[in-house]
Amino acid sequence: MIDFGYGLTPSSTLKIENVANPAFEELRQREPDVAKCIACGSCTASCSAGVFTEMSLRRVILSLQRGREKETLPMLQHCMLCGKCLLVCPRGINTRHLILSIGKVYKMEEDR
């Protein structure tokens, strides 16, 4: 292997599967499609709201996996639920239903 003079040390790596995130696990239970997302960006590229706002379903899912709900959930308010992302998703994820499920799970999380 080529040595480029830098590398990751074990202390700077983060295994996302080892991070406890009960809200995301509840979302995964309700909406198994969230685990099928490959973060390809097709949804973001087709998003009408993404042109004018920072709406990005890919960013929403990745941020929720990392436990960054407070900065992520306001993005969902910009979604118009038009369904364009549903049409272009190569994994066939029902993105509209996923967005509605995210709203339900994380709204319940705030109420607890």
In a domain, 2, yes or no: no
In a domain, 101, yes or no: yes
Domain that holds residue 33: 20-111
> Within a 10 A sphere around the Cβ of 51, how many other Cβ atoms?
7
Q: Give me the pLDDT at residue 99, please.
A: 93
Q: Give the model's confidence band at 37: pLDDT under 50 very low, under 70 low, under 90 confident, else very high.
A: very high
In a domain, 53, yes or no: yes
On the CB side of 103, CA atoms within 13 Å amount to: 13
Average pLDDT over every residue of 37-41: 91
pLDDT at 52 over 80: yes
The domain tally of the chain equals 1
| Higher per-residue pLDDT: 59 or 111 | 59
pLDDT at 60 over 60: yes
In a domain, 75, yes or no: yes
In a domain, 62, yes or no: yes
In a domain, 15, yes or no: no
Q: Give me the pLDDT at residue 29, please.
A: 93
